[in-house]
Structure 1
Amino acid sequence: MDLHAIIIEDEQAGLDNLKNILLSCCSHVKVIAEARNIEEGYLVLTDKSLQPDVVFMDINLNNELVFNLLDRLDSINFEIIFVTAYQQHAVRACAYSSIGFISKPIDPSLLKEAIERVRIGEDEDMKDRLEVFRGHINHMNPFKKITIASLDEMHFIHIHEIVRLQSDDNYTIFHTKNGGKIIASKTIKSYENMFIPFNFFRVHRSHIVNLNYIQKFIKGDSAHLIMMDGTKIDVSRRRKGPFSEKLKELQKELA
């Protein structure tokens, strides 16, 4: 299925390079319009005759943030993939908000992966995802909320509501404090580093737990945790030592 695309890029060389890569590795992506600045971008995005499926855009356009453009739109009925050298917090912000991100210089294989994740007709929540993204990139509302992409939906959830993450082959099951479950279409490894700053710990190859929801830590040869909801979680032999050290660090912080 063809994807109709718009490119918003302030450097002509960067725009031409992206078009050439798309032509060589993603021929089903048809570029229907281009823009070099905020005003041109606004004109093409409000042109009802274009109807793009995906828009590739730089975060920084002629020393202006692209949010100055996006905030002017009444609705965003397309997917966004940021293609930029603007690295400050951007990769992490995109991960938390489930927005595509490709850094310059462009790796064709990563571009192809980002395009494969584009979901036509499921972009009603893009405004919400951008709000999550902007909160992370500006540190205005740092790391309070995450966007989780399941097979059919986008879920917006506060990090403190997540009790544990459970591996299920190429998927991850998020267990929330109200007993809910969200099945994400990513492996548990892709979330591991993301949650470290918020007192989550990978205690087993199949589990990452929120330390705030641990009720007991049973030591010994068959080390395991008892969570607040009564769930038993095994602690692997390899991770038992680092996990014990993490608990000691937290105790020192509370002392």
Structure 2
Amino acid sequence: MPTCVLIDDENRSIDTLKTIIENFLDEDLKILGTANSAKEGYQLILKTKPQIVFLDIEMPHQTGFDMLELFEKIDFEVIFTTGFDQYAITAIKFSALDYLLKPINIGELQLAVTKAVERFNSKSSANQIQNLLDNIKSPKDSTNKIPLPVMNGLEMVQVGQIVNCEASQDYTIITLAGGKQVLVSRSIKYFEELLTDYNFFRTHHSHLVNKEYIKKYVKGEGGYVITESGKEIPVSRRKKPEFLNWLKH
């Protein structure tokens, strides 16, 4: 039976999560203990060695991220629980890890636990957690890595190596510096939300481009940009004024 611990500074949040796990979870999950701070949580994990840790991000004195930094080796899965904190959520998404917004939705909890158990059994997410901690230390750094979900797993690439993203139905084609293309099972909107802060702009409903690789803008009804490799990327008429302003600044 999978095991877990709950770490949150609010007893009410712990009680709610505990009730949902005990009464509504399809998959049996044994709760080994609870803690109300990062310090207590660290000791609890060392003592009980759970497979899954439900971890609140914002706690007094130390955050959930601070607690994770204390471990030399992370051999457990993490499901973050948080109120709405866009920066934290973006960082978590950037690392392809799971989070639950409070108040917690039962269906989302069930899905997150199923995925966490699968990751634990395959030992696949230790690098994702380390990637998250590295990104937290240096937000908006183009050397930060982002995991791209591909057919056989995750491919880690530096944000600064992404030239452009192009929608392909429910998928996105990522073009990297050097010309390599990666087909990713995520929508272009997903990447727009993650990469806008890294100097990317969605020029068209099907295109997202990295400013660092724009060589030239050619005028027209909407116009188009030419990347360093010579690829032409359209700019929609509706996006043109905002795009030109972004390009200048």
Give the whole-Å Cα distance in 2 for the aligned partners of 1:241 and 1:126. 38
With over 3 angstroms needed to count, the CA separation of the structure-2 counterparts of 1:203 and 1:13, relative to structure 1, is: same
Number of the residue aligned with 1:80: 78
2:158 paired with 1:161: no
User: With structure 2 as the length reference, what TM-score do the two structures score?
Assistant: 0.79
Number of the residue aligned with 2:207: 207
Does the aligned pair in 1 maintain the 2:174–2:183 contact within 8 Å?
yes
Number of the residue aligned with 1:125: 127
Does the aligned pair in 1 maintain the 2:6–2:54 contact within 8 Å?
yes
The one-letter code of the counterpart of 1:125 is N
Give the whole-Å Cα distance in 2 for the aligned partners of 1:222 and 1:61. 48
* Percentage of matched positions with identical amino acids: 28
Segments of 5+ residues of structure 2 without an aligned counterpart are: none
Give the whole-Å Cα distance in 1 for the aligned partners of 2:76 and 2:169. 30
With over 3 angstroms needed to count, the CA separation of the structure-2 counterparts of 1:243 and 1:133, relative to structure 1, is: closer
Number of the residue aligned with 1:20: 19
Number of the residue aligned with 1:226: 226
Number of the residue aligned with 2:32: 33
Number of the residue aligned with 1:196: 196
Does the aligned pair in 2 maintain the 1:148–1:184 contact within 8 Å?
no
Q: How large is the Cα RMSD of the aligned pairs?
A: 3.0
SS of aligned partner of 2:71: coil
Give the whole-Å Cα distance in 2 for the aligned partners of 1:149 and 1:115. 21
1:1-80 correspondence runs (5 A): 3-28=2-27, 30-36=29-35, 37-38=37-38, 40-47=40-47, 50-52=49-51, 54-61=52-59, 63-80=61-78
- Comparing 16-25 and 206-215, the one that deviates more: 16-25
Give the whole-Å Cα distance in 2 for the aligned partners of 1:32 and 1:185. 33
1:236-247 correspondence runs (5 A): 236-247=236-247
With over 3 angstroms needed to count, the CA separation of the structure-2 counterparts of 1:61 and 1:212, relative to structure 1, is: closer
Number of the residue aligned with 1:175: 175
Give the whole-Å Cα distance in 2 for the aligned partners of 1:39 and 1:240. 51
Number of the residue aligned with 1:143: 140
With over 3 angstroms needed to count, the CA separation of the structure-2 counterparts of 1:221 and 1:62, relative to structure 1, is: closer
Does the aligned pair in 1 maintain the 2:14–2:34 contact within 8 Å?
no
Give the whole-Å Cα distance in 1 for the aligned partners of 2:26 and 2:203. 43
Number of the residue aligned with 1:138: none
Number of the residue aligned with 2:216: 216
With over 3 angstroms needed to count, the CA separation of the structure-2 counterparts of 1:51 and 1:62, relative to structure 1, is: same
Does the aligned pair in 2 maintain the 1:147–1:154 contact within 8 Å?
no
With over 3 angstroms needed to count, the CA separation of the structure-2 counterparts of 1:67 and 1:95, relative to structure 1, is: closer
SS of aligned partner of 2:226: strand
Number of the residue aligned with 2:98: 100
Task: Report the count of equivalent residues.
Answer: 241
Segments of 5+ residues of structure 1 without an aligned counterpart are: 136-140
SS of aligned partner of 2:90: helix
Give the whole-Å Cα distance in 2 for the aligned partners of 1:15 and 1:5. 12
Give the whole-Å Cα distance in 2 for the aligned partners of 1:126 and 1:198. 20
Give the whole-Å Cα distance in 1 for the aligned partners of 2:28 and 2:239. 45
Question: 1:33, CA displacement in angstroms?
Answer: 1.4
The runs of at least 4 aligned residues of structure 1 exceeding 6 Å deviation read: none
Give the whole-Å Cα distance in 1 for the aligned partners of 2:39 and 2:243. 52
